[in-house]
Chain A
Amino acid sequence: MTASGFAAGPAAQAVAPGGGEAFEPLLPGLILLLPLLGFAGNGILALAAARGGAARLRSGEAGAGGEPERRLVHALPTWLGPGSVALAFVLSALNFARMAGVELHDPVIRHYWSWMATGPFTAEVALQLDQLSVIMNLIITGVGSLIHLFSVGYMREDPGYARYFCYLNLFVFFMLVLVMGAGFPLMFVGWEGVGLCSYLLIGFWFEDREKADAGKKAFIVNRIGDFGFLLGIFLLFRHLGAVDYVGVFAAAPEAFSYGDPVVTAVALLLLLGAIGKSAQVPLYVWLPDAMAGPTPVSALIHAATMVTAGVYLIARAGVLFALAPVGSAAAATIGAVTALFSATIALKQYDIKKVLAYSTVSQLGFMFMAVGAGAYVAGIFHLMTHAFFKALLFLGAGAVIHSMHHALHATHREWDAQDMRNMGDLRRYLPMTWITMGTATLAIAGIWPFAGFFSKDEIIWYTGARAEGEFAVLYAALWAIALVAAVLTAVYMTRLMVLTFHGNQRFGESEARNLHEEPVTMTVPLAVLALLAVFGGWINVPPAVHDSFFGGFGLLPMSEWLHYWLEPVTAAADGIRAAGAGPYSESAPLGGGEVLWAAVATTAAAAAILLTMRALAGREVRPADESSPPEGGLARVLHDKWYVDEAYDRVIVRPVVGASRFAWRWIDQFVIDGAVDGIGALVRGLGWAGSLLQTGQVTTYAVILALGALTILGALIL
């Protein structure tokens, strides 16, 4: 793909109904191309660095490379990595501004080339620019550039610095392909690409066997989901003859009736793909292990962007899910179960990143609940606010780990820098991190007026409002689960904050002298994300809330902005859902309006925070090597993550390994190898028997010759 091919593609097929101004996208291909260029540049540098290192190793020269070379492999990626993504963000923002300036109802599609055309099947390489993909672009490149910037400080001393940015840029490229592709095949390309980058970055420190295994686990578990996704695409093509969004969403309502079994199957298969990528029950097990990667990677890939691809998929395919109420209900149920289940596990983890990982799984469950209830905008809204505050939490955790690691390293103490039992009272040493992470905690807990309050409240409200008509009881139950999970969120996040930043100081004074606040490249992203975590939710305040106390009695500038913005994308799905399942109810399952339940939820969350702080206040926490896991009971079960990994190991992994061993030992080594070796042995044996005839005695040959001649003669005569 050449620069000109991408940047100066054929003219956009912009149609502006109503005679308004047409939306002219600004170099959409370049948004993709910039991270790809960054990938190529950093890749070359990484290869050069690796080659230099290998040469030094061969020549026996000890220590790191020369200063000029070190500067090259460090300075260039520092500009190339974050720079390319930041430029892509600027381009995305310009496109967003252009789109906001015009009335755009139909997506703008740019065709580049035909990927494959066999018979009736054609897959185009085309980018789709509509309200949804532009919003996703902003999130990916915006949060992405902040995390790239943070990585400059975080990965500064890593020998694989250039390789790190190479992978990270490639990830951004594939993520943009995923959201900008104009059809399911291209989305699948991005889908697999981000999976690859996730694998590469989880196993970034591959010298550690455990970390390399975590990467493999993520890849293999995702294969199960990808299989479903691919089958879903095949089924769509079989019945609709199209795989691009415009074609599919135009044909689906005509080809399928509401609740048609085929469209239900498609929705369930796509849901399987989404479950794998977005780490939902039962395929969530890879995400906690994925914390083996560098912490900014966890922030970008395993919190803000890649894992939300499943939510994006369902929102994008909203028409199909709206036609398949069973598929939607399944998505909502899985989301609710996941939200509650992983929130309980997060209650008893001690690794700071593990708590955040389970929290991410739980929040993704909320998003699934939203899209499963047909509230696609609410799902995307929570996706966005979650990207802000969860990226912030992960980066904050990264700053904590980085500081702890340095302090422990300076004093040569063999402690785990990620275990919260080894921290305590860090707010005295890392005030900036404390404040920003505190903001994110309030946001994720759903405290008014932080971002999470508005997005989570909307999800809970829409889930409850679906408790009418079909699956009424189910959605009512999910609504109750969502409320409980929301309260649990406040509990485990408060526990994380108290264990890390408050309470008694577990490390010694010598470590404390080595604890410093992080450099500016790391604190600036924290500050920016903290601002977004506060104000990010104000773009989509529902009208009822907007006019109440929570909306400042109408003082907030924008009411339901995101809802109106995404309207052209979600209108078709909303229409089908409303026609099939009836309108949303006006009150929650237990009565009461949106404002009342928003108040209940935020009060409950605030109460949970205060109670948790009280329960933990004054409690003496021992360092990790002096404590033991909880004794029995529910606490022990939660600490051991409900033994799900063990159960999977027993039920799936070991039988598969056993069957593989059987196939290896018996089918392959015995039957197949035996057959091949047997034929060889047979031929050798026959040859050996034949060689016995060759005695070297001339007389024997003469006898055989004579006997042969006589036999032939006899045969001729008789």
Chain B
Amino acid sequence: MLTEALVLGALLFVIGMLGVLVRRNAIIVFLSIELQLNAVNLSFVALSRYLGIEGQLFVFFIMTVAAAEAAVGLAIIISIFRHYESVNVENFSLLRW
């Protein structure tokens, strides 16, 4: 049972990572990050059965942080869209030297 859960978590994480790396749409990138977070959450929950309740505790923290991050991140994306009429991350490279 644990093996299947961990494999599923790994699969979801890799899918999320590839999404972050290959997609250009900021919303999709954002969603992929959420997918990675939840893949980790799944692994935590699965492992908590054997290693103690702390894993589940950690999941709540991650979900809280993810919610806050979603609020801020979406707000940024919206304000960028209002400015540029685009959410393609390739268009935004001003934050450098």
Chain A residues in contact with chain B, CB under 8 A?
691, 694-699, 702-703, 706
Contacts and interface: CB of A to CB of B under 8 A. Distances in A.
10 contacts: A691-B97, A694-B96, A696-B92, A696-B93, A696-B94, A697-B89, A697-B93, A698-B29, A699-B90, A702-B21
Contacts of A706: 17, 20-21
A706 B89 CA distance: 18
A101 to B, nearest CB: 93
A702 B20 CA distance: 7
Interface residues of B, number: 13
Contacts of A696: 92-96
B74 to A, nearest CB: 16
Decide if the interface of chain A is mainly helix, strand, loop or mixed: helix
A702 B17 CA distance: 9
A130 to B, nearest CB: 81
B90 A697 contact: yes
A691 B96 CA distance: 9
Contact of B21 (A691, A694, A695, A699): A699
B21 A703 contact: yes
A698 B76 CA distance: 14
Interface in B41-96: 89-90, 92-96
Nearest to A687: B97
Interface of B: 17, 20-21, 24, 29, 89-90, 92-97
A407 B90 CA distance: 93
A699 B89 contact: yes
A694 B90 CA distance: 14
B97 A694 contact: yes
A709 B27 CA distance: 24
Given A703-B21, A706-B21, A698 B89 contact: yes
A694 B20 CA distance: 18
B43 to A, nearest CB: 14
Nearest to B29: A698
A235 to B, nearest CB: 65
B76 to A, nearest CB: 12
A136 B90 CA distance: 95
A458 to B, nearest CB: 89
B93 A695 contact: yes
- Specify which of A694, A695, A696, A698 lies most central, judged by the most chain B CB atoms within 10 Å of its CB: A698
Given A695-B96, A696-B95, A699-B24, 19 more contacts: A691-B97, A694-B97, A695-B93, A696-B92, A696-B93, A696-B94, A696-B96, A697-B89, A697-B90, A697-B93, A698-B29, A699-B21, A699-B89, A699-B90, A702-B20, A702-B21, A703-B21, A706-B17, A706-B21
A285 to B, nearest CB: 64
Contacts of A697: 89-90, 93
Contacts of B89: 697-699
Nearest to A710: B17
A56 to B, nearest CB: 58
A698 B21 contact: no
A696 B94 CA distance: 6
Contacts of B21: 699, 702-703, 706
Nearest to A709: B17
A691 B89 CA distance: 20
Nearest to B23: A699
Contacts of B24: 699
Contacts of A699: 21, 24, 89-90
Contacts of A702: 20-21
A702 B28 CA distance: 14
A703 B18 CA distance: 10
A706 B21 CA distance: 9
Contacts of B20: 702, 706
Contacts of B96: 694-696
A562 B29 CA distance: 112
B97 A698 contact: no
Nearest to B97: A691
Contacts of A698: 29, 89, 92
Nearest to A700: B93
A694 B29 CA distance: 20
Contacts of A703: 21
A703 B93 CA distance: 15
Contacts of A694: 96-97
Nearest to B91: A697
B36 to A, nearest CB: 11
A-B pairs, 5 with minimum CB distance: A696-B93, A696-B96, A694-B96, A691-B97, A698-B89
Contacts of B17: 706
Contacts of B94: 696
Nearest to B20: A702
A379 to B, nearest CB: 80
A212 to B, nearest CB: 54
Contacts of B92: 696, 698
